[in-house]
């Protein structure tokens, strides 16, 4: 019998903090839903603490891992019939091409790529059937923030247009090795069937980019006054004070050809 490989040390450049809390792992697996359903894709499996219960629960799993040494250990640990390891950066892998159909995403996202991954999921929402994802608690707060709060921003509006995001539970630093300096939050994402049905994604992104370009300034300093007036929006407000509906109204009026 081959000797068991020693656990690899976390790499700071990949933002690795491995989940080790058994109760949290069970809750994450359970939040994905029944065995019968869309294929499951794990983002950043690391040492496989979540991977093993996922394979047991769903029988077949695809894992996307950027660390080549961890990817090799996963291939040695799990039979190919149970786990397909894609050695790649999740930001460079088209979600819809992983399984050829919409998938259930799951993962403990590295803090240094969590916001880009959230934005990618919005852009590639056609390939996402649902998701259970862990973020730094501050990022999770942005995803679910209410208008008028400091956490409310472009990511809040874009993600909320495409998905209903629930905060399921929080985890402290002790749930990870090495322990991070911040707490984390597990979220569940459910697609909205009406996503971007009343506004173009490009227009919304352009309006948000302009409106939040200088957060401390009022909207009249960031957005053409005529657009604000036509949308019925007070230019004396700051960007975070607008509701998602306000942003949709403004985006509908955004000039054609505005950069995305």
Give tens-digit pLDDT for 50-64. Answer: 999 999 999 999 999
Distances (CA, A) of 192 to 42, 163, 211: 22, 5, 24
Is the domain 15-191 a CATH 3.30.420.40 member? no
SS3 for the chain is: CCCCCCCCCCCHHHCCCEECCHHHHHHHHHHCCCCCCCCEEEECCCCCCCHHHHHHHHCCEEEEECCHHHHHHHHHHCCCCCEEEEECCHHHCCHHHHHCCCEEEEEECCHHHHHHHHHHHHHCHHHEEEEEEEEEHHHHHHHCCCCCCCCCCHHHHHHHHHEEEEEEEEECHHHEECCCCCCEEEEEEEECCCCCCCCCHHHHHHHHHHHCCCCCCEHHHCCCHHHHHHHCCCCCCEHHHCCHHHHHHHHHCCCCCCCC
Domain with CATH 1.10.8.100 in the chain: 201-252
Q: Are 18 and 49 in contact (CB under 8 A)?
A: yes
Distances (CA, A) of 187 to 29, 103, 135: 12, 16, 8
Provide the percentage of residues in the chain whose pLDDT is more than 70.
92
Say if residue 178 is preceded by a cis peptide, omega within 30 of 0.
yes
Domain with CATH 3.40.50.150 in the chain: 15-191
- Residues 78 and 55: their CA atoms lie apart, in Å, by 9
- For position 112, what pLDDT does the model report? 86
Q: What is the pLDDT of residues 153-204, one digit of tens each?
A: 999 999 999 999 999 999 999 999 888 889 999 999 999 999 999 999 999 9
What sign results for the dihedral spanned by CA atoms 28, 32, 34, 38?
negative
- Residues 5 and 126: their CA atoms lie apart, in Å, by 38
Q: Give the CATH superfamily of 201-252.
A: rRNA adenine dimethylase, C-terminal domain (1.10.8.100)
pTM of the shown model: 0.90
Q: Which residues of the chain have pLDDT under 70?
A: 1-16, 256-260
């Amino acid at each position: 019998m081959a000797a068991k490989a020693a656990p690899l040390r976390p790499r700071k450049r990949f933002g690795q903090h491995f989940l080790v809390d058994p109760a949290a792992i069970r809750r994450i697996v359970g939040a994905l839903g029944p065995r019968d359903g869309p294929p499951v894709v794990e983002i950043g499996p690391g040492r496989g603490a979540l991977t093993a219960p996922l394979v047991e629960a769903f029988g077949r799993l695809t894992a996307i891992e950027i660390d080549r040494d961890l990817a090799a250990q996963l291939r040695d640990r799990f039979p190919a019939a149970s786990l397909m390891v894609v050695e790649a950066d999740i930001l460079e892998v088209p979600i819809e091409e992983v399984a050829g159909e919409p998938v259930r995403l799951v993962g403990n996202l590295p803090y240094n790529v969590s916001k880009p991954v959230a934005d990618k999921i919005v852009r590639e929402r056609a390939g996402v059937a649902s998701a259970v994802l862990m973020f730094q608690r501050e990022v999770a707060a942005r995803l679910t923030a209410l208008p008028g709060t400091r956490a409310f921003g472009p990511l809040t509006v874009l993600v909320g247009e495409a998905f209903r995001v629930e905060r399921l539970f929080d985890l402290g630093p002790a749930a990870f090795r090495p322990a991070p300096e911040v707490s984390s939050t597990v979220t569940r994402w459910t697609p909205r069937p009406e996503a971007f049905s009343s506004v173009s994604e490009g227009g919304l992104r352009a309006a948000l980019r302009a409106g939040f370009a200088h957060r401390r300034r009022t909207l009249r300093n960031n957005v053409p006054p005529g657009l604000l007036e036509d949308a019925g929006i007070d230019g004396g407000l700051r960007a975070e004070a607008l509701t998602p509906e306000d942003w949709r109204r403004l985006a509908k009026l955004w000039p054609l050809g505005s950069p995305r």
